[in-house]
Amino acid sequence: MDQTIVVQFSLIAATIIACVAAACASFCDSRVAVRAIDGMTRQPELAGQLFTNMLVAIGLVESIPIIAVVIAIVLVFANPFLG
């Protein structure tokens, strides 16, 4: 019975981790895009460089939820608390 409870809490924790990571990443992606578009409107001659920097920044922001989901999957399938 104890293993069932640990597995259930692991699934709940993994779900919460994935949802929070996705929500935070989408919020940060929108902030990066808004700042880049703001910079492009202020200095149109740098639009190409700003767009490239925006794509790199969004890629870096998106790596965080990917790592969080991997940790959540490890928490579910290779749970150290199951003995």
| Residues in contact with 82: Cβ distance below 8 Å, sequence separation at least 6, in sequence order | 3, 6, 7
When the pLDDT of each residue in the chain is averaged and rounded to a whole number, the result is 92
Domain that residue 29 falls in? 1-76
83 assigned to some structural domain: no
Quote the number of domains for the chain: 1
| Residues in contact with 20: Cβ distance below 8 Å, sequence separation at least 6, in sequence order | 68
Which amino acid would we find at residue 10? S
CATH of the domain at 22: 1.20.20.10
Tokens of 23: 């929500």
Contact (Cβ atoms closer than 8 angstroms) between residue 54 and residue 32 = yes
81 assigned to some structural domain: no
Which amino acid would we find at residue 48? G
19 assigned to some structural domain: yes
53 assigned to some structural domain: yes
pLDDT tens per residue, range 17-28: 999 999 999 999
pLDDT of 39 higher than 90: yes
